[in-house]
Amino acid sequence: MTGEHLQVLHGDITRMEVDAIVNAANSGLLGGGGVDGAIHGAGGPAIMAACRGIRETKGGCPTGQAVITTGGLLPAPYVIHAVGPVWEGGNHNEDALLASAYEASVALAAQHKLRTLAFPNISTGIYGFPRERAVDIAINAVRKALAKAPGIEQVSFVCFDDENYRLYRQRLS
Residue 155: domain span: 2-172
Q: Please state the φ and ψ torsions of residue 143, each to the nearest 5 degrees.
A: -60, -45
> At 67, is the secondary structure helix, strand, or coil?
strand
CA distances from 149 to 2, 55, 110, 155, 163 (A): 18, 27, 6, 11, 29
For residues 50 and 73, the answer to whether their CB atoms sit within 8 Å is: no
Q: What pLDDT, in 10s, does the model give residues 137-168?
A: 999 999 999 999 999 999 999 999 999 999 99
Look up the CATH number of the domain holding residue 106: 3.40.220.10
Domain count, the chain: 1
Pick the catalytic residue: 36, 95, 136, 162? 36
pTM value > 0.85:
yes
CA distances from 10 to 90, 92, 148, 160 (A): 28, 31, 27, 6
Q: What pLDDT, in 10s, does the model give residues 116-131?
A: 999 999 999 989 999 9
Per-residue confidence of the chain (173 residues) as pLDDT tens digits? 444 689 999 999 999 999 999 999 999 998 888 999 999 999 999 999 999 999 999 999 999 999 999 999 999 999 999 999 999 999 999 999 999 999 999 999 999 999 999 999 999 998 999 999 999 999 999 999 999 999 999 999 999 999 999 999 999 98
| Residue 6: partners with Cβ closer than 8 Å, 6 or more residues away | 139, 142, 143, 155, 156, 157, 172
Q: Is residue 36 flagged as an active site residue?
A: yes
Angle at 77 (CA atoms; ends 82, 61), nearest 5 degrees: 20
